[in-house]
Amino acid sequence: MEFTATCPKGVEPLLAAEMVSLGATGVRETRAAVSFSGPLEAGYRACLWSRLASRVLLTITEFPAVDSDELYAGVAAVPWEHHVRADGTIAIDAVGTTPQLTHTGFIARRVKDAIVDRIREREGRRPSVDLARPDVRVNVRLYKGRASVSIDLAGDPLHERGYRATGKQAQAPLKENLAAAVLVRAGWPGIAEQGGALLDPMCGSGTLLIEGALMAGDQAPGLLGPRWGFEGWLGHDEALWASLVAEADDRAEAGRAALPLIVGWDVDPEAVALARACVARAGLRGHISVQQRDVGAFEPPAGAACGLVVANPPYGVRLGAEEDLRELYARLGTALSERFSGWRAVVLTSERDLARATGLRSSSAYTLFNGAIEVKAYVFDVSPAIVRAPVRAAATPPSPGAEMVANRLRKNLRRLGRWARREGVTCFRVYDADLPEYAAAIDLYETVSGERYAHVAEYAPPRQIDPARAEQHLRELLGVIPDVLGVSPQHVAVKVRQRQRGRSQYERLEARGEFLEVAEGSVRLLVNLWDYLDTGLFLDHRPVRSRLAEAARGMRFCNLFAYTGAASVHAAAGGAATTTTVDMSSTYLGWARRSMALNGFVEGTAHRFVRADALSWLPQERMRVERGVVPPYDLVFCDPPTFSTSKTMKERTFDVQRDHVPLLEDAASLLAPRGLLIFSTNLRSFHMDAEALVGLEVRDITAETIPFDFARTPKVHRCFEIRVR
């Protein structure tokens, strides 16, 4: 069967991805719609599960329709007696025109006449018209002299979930499917998977909160719908539909038990009452909290360490005076920057200047339509203000806390130092928040010239620790590092979370351009301890890189999401016949070239560097392999980000849990017979869907790839070997 799912403009790529995830085939984007193929079940699943579609149409026929007679004849040729009862009811929705058919009301009447005339000729009776609650709603679309006639399976618009409370509506309500699109664009499904909270400081009737809860709780939005367009259709398969609803009920019950923290606020008490009523109608009372509070006073609630803040503030075309709105957006931005370090935020507005008034820099902006109003969803990563901190000598005598953490460092260094010397490891983790109140990771780096450096990265302290106390603990930790670890204070790189604005002892991260040459096994690599949040070398991947080097001899090697190319260096040193290093960042590719050259491997036919989004590059490379333009690869390493919304990815989002199956299928398609794909991810809650990887053998090698210095944090990454069966 052929289907069309309609949607608001701007949502087409998201809806296409959603249809693929629901099992549809032949998915194709069109203007404000997506077409797809499949059995009747595909249409039913779209009705039940789509969060983004407005309607789901089952195509019955298409034909030329230049004038009224052609339109009538084409519709009358359809066996309508198989679709609607002779004593049933119909309604006709007409869209589009031709030069001779310019009035949609006339088009609808002509289609109605063709349907009832045919049924009357065969049955002796004819359906009547019911515009409000018909048994069958027929959709006819005219475009470029052709007509497409469909059965509307949804009946009522899918965005009308059924939870909107009656009575006063919040001002400028957001359609439910547009709210879902905003949440998808912001990456909420991935954030929820990791246990992040969802907060809305201007929640109105609570639409964003409810849609977020339905997503996080794996609840089909169609479960809330009271009636469907296919219920009076003669082609309806009641048993199939009942089985799909039962499956959705089971998933919803399991999902509600694991919902993350979801909280909304609004300054208007009537809006708060309305939102609570909508939450109750959605069956989510007790799962979503709504409180009265001004936007300037909202803050992370207890138990919410990170997550997504989503807001649909008023914007000038609908509500509010310009200056009042600027002040509102400024207060929202201040609250986010001061209290939500490390969170993501998305703000929906039609005015670019209002988005700028937040004082935040958006990482991406997506055009959507709230009715006829063009709006943008501005996504902000309210990143922790990572800055440099000074290293001072420890107080004499040291405080009890400083002595305690110093003793732990000495103990770790003795134990790990013996192991490192025995294994020839020169860069390793020596401390990882062993004492939770001293929340930092400390890595030691010894250069090829024998100089020792320390890299300190502060974690968010436990919520029960007072911020002032946490800062004191950090000062104590930094004070003992030089003496205990034998590192010059000038060789300690410290990255901490900004405490307050204007604290002069903290410096912004600015490029020093200082690279250190370190050894890892037989290769040399470049690290930078100061200019970036990461140093350029993931120490927990040390065994993975060694594994790649051992497997690479004589092989064609491909490094996807390559970062600074350390895996490529190891593969080349292991005797790889060729290496291909793929990353979006020109900075990281330049870094990779330098590290490769440091080991005598120069860019050329044997060693390629490709600046590209790996997700887009993979299908292109697969086509080149299939056409024989390039030979297949024998060894592929894939270490993607947990989540990405990079603009370079052409406005797509990537979530490693949601998207790992198609990613790995694409990566495995590059493999030669008996080739090997090694996949790694840092998502601690990651679940490998091995059953969905048809034709691939998957082996979990995580335990074999956790190095000794990360034994206390064995969930630092997950790693798998994948081969074609």
Could you report the per-residue pLDDT of 276-286, keeping only the tens digit for each?
A: 999 999 999 99
Q: Is the pTM of this model over 0.85?
A: no
Name the residue with tokens 């935040």.
360
Kindly state the tokens that stand for 240: 């199939």
| Confidence at 647, pLDDT banded by 50, 70, 90 | very low
Q: Could you tell me which of 569, 608, 610, 565 has the C-alpha nearest to residue 588? A: 565
Q: Is the pLDDT of residue 380 over 90?
A: no
- pLDDT tens-digit map of 456-515: 998 866 556 676 788 888 889 999 999 999 999 999 998 876 543 333 334 445 567 889
Quickly count: other Cβ atoms within 10 Å of residue 562's Cβ: 27
**Mean pLDDT of the region 285-305:** 88
Kindly state the tokens that stand for 596: 């490769």
Q: Measure the CA–CA gap between 329 and 346, rounded to whole angstroms.
A: 12
Q: What is the DSSP letter of 285?
A: B
Kindly state the tokens that stand for 454: 């320390």
- pLDDT tens-digit map of 568-602: 999 999 999 999 999 988 889 999 999 999 999 99
Name the residue with tokens 């990454």.
717
| CA 651 and chain centroid, separation | 11
Torsion 303-308-309-313 (CA) sign: negative
Candidate from 105-119, 407-421, 646-660, 710-724 with smallest mean pLDDT: 646-660
Quickly count: other Cβ atoms within 10 Å of residue 495's Cβ: 22
Q: Measure the CA–CA gap between 108 and 112, rounded to whole angstroms.
A: 6
- pLDDT tens-digit map of 309-361: 999 988 654 444 566 788 888 889 888 887 887 789 999 988 888 888 887 87
**Does the 538-724 domain belong in CATH 3.40.50.150?**
yes
**Does the 176-217+259-382 domain belong in CATH 3.40.50.150?**
yes
Element (H, E) at 129: strand 128-129
Provide the pLDDT for residue 644: 67
Candidate from 146-150, 176-180, 310-314, 608-612 with smallest mean pLDDT: 310-314
Look over the chain and give the mean of its residue pLDDT values, rounded to a whole number: 89
Q: Measure the CA–CA gap between 547 and 315, rounded to whole angstroms.
A: 55
Domain with CATH 3.30.750.80 in the chain: 386-508
Torsion 13-19-21-24 (CA) sign: negative
Residues 6+ apart with CB under 8 A from 79: none
Q: Measure the CA–CA gap between 667 and 268, rounded to whole angstroms.
A: 52
Kindly state the tokens that stand for 696: 């691939």
- pLDDT tens-digit map of 23-56: 999 999 998 999 999 999 999 999 999 999 999 9
State which CATH number among 3.30.70.260, 3.30.2130.30, 2.40.50.140, 3.40.50.300 fits the domain covering 2-152: 3.30.2130.30
Q: Measure the CA–CA gap between 608 and 591, rounded to whole angstroms.
A: 14
Domain with CATH 3.30.2130.30 in the chain: 2-152
Task: Classify domain 386-508 at the CATH class level.
Answer: alpha beta
Domain with CATH 3.40.50.150 in the chain: 176-217+259-382, 538-724
Give the CB-side neighbour count of residue 206, counting CA atoms within 13 A.
32
Kindly state the tokens that stand for 446: 């010894």
Q: Is the pLDDT of residue 275 over 50?
A: yes
Provide the pLDDT for residue 510: 54
Q: What is the DSSP letter of 678?
A: E
According to DSSP, the residues that pair with 579 across neighbouring strands are: 557, 607
Give the CB-side neighbour count of residue 368, counting CA atoms within 13 A.
30
